[in-house]
Structure 1
């Protein structure tokens, strides 16, 4: 499983970059390292840096491969912003809750993604990630069923730091 993580992180990083407006003429994203279950990348074309991880495997139905990322866009003044790609399309008025250690956070969401409501919540979530060993996000899908995506936080703090240093060096 450990050998699979670097390849899996590269495979999920490419669609994330494509969704954020990268073109085929954009330079390749720079790998800043793989740390436990998390990877760190720099996209010099945007410019942005991010830590990213896949959700843990499950036998439950998934519409897409879920991932969690913490991204920074220095030119926009955005630092350590949470983005979750959820495993299912969401209900029209979803209730999405993130659990990190013993802390709970209500998120805003649309389609198949969820975010913290503001920069203060992002900072609180990142602080909680640094102190916990796992996190989970629960929501209601378009069919009205509750589901949960779970993540290991092994390496998350180091990947977040590597992404921050990667953008500071540009």
Structure 2
């Protein structure tokens, strides 16, 4: 639970302080609502690996932004800075999804990819995001998916009337 609260704080770090409502915690996943934006999101932190070099705390979110008409947007904050012209691949249920990347973040290419990832997450145990760091070495951020479906559903319902 401490890891989820930290992840929620990291996600909101660049925004002014506002109240965020916890919609629930399910295993490694939590759901939160921020009506100041408004947005709702399910979030989990990457599984920690002892001795692994990280630049940032990695986390994965599935967000809903009612004013933008966006539901189920997948976003990954990677644990390392990325090489120039990065290639980031998310793998879940043996399905590979290329992501569009910034210096340390990645998103899907479109809403169909978001929907396909979310559908795969609902029946998987784990998810892996692989990329090449600024040092040229490949790294992986891993996520456990137990509780993800409940957190995603709570986040979607949390903004249903916003």
Give the TM interval when normalised to the shorter protein. over 0.9
TM-score, normalised to structure 1, is 0.92
Q: Which position in structure 1 is the counterpart of 2:130? A: 138
Per-residue deviation, residues 124-154 of structure 1 (Å, max 9, x unmatched): 1111111111000000011111000000001
Report deviation, 1:15.
Answer: 2.1
Tell me what 2:16 maps to: 23
- Asked whether 1:90 is paired with 2:85, we answer no
2:92 is equivalent to residue 100 of structure 1: yes
The partner residue of 1:39 within 30, 36, 39 is: 30
**Which runs of 5 or more structure 2 residues have no equivalent in the other structure?**
none
Q: SS of 1:168's equivalent?
A: coil
- Please name the residue that 1:13 is paired with: 8
Q: Judging by fraction of residues, say which structure has more helix.
A: 1
Alpha-carbon separation, structure 2, partners of 1:158 and 1:57? 22
Alpha-carbon deviation of 1:102? 1.3
SS of the residue 1:104 aligns to: strand
Unaligned runs of 5+ in 1: 1-5
CA distance in 1, matches of 2:10, 2:20: 12
Number of positions where the alignment pairs a residue of Structure 1 with one of Structure 2: 161
1:71-113 Cα deviation digits (max 9, x unpaired): 0101100000000000100011111111101111111101100
Question: Which aligned pairs between 1:19-168 and structure 2 lie closer than 5 A?
Answer: 19=14, 22-24=15-17, 26=18, 28-59=19-50, 60-168=52-160
Q: Distance in 1 between matches of 2:129 and 2:32?
A: 23
In 2, Cα distance between the equivalents of 1:71 and 1:42? 10
TM-score by length of structure 2 reads 0.96
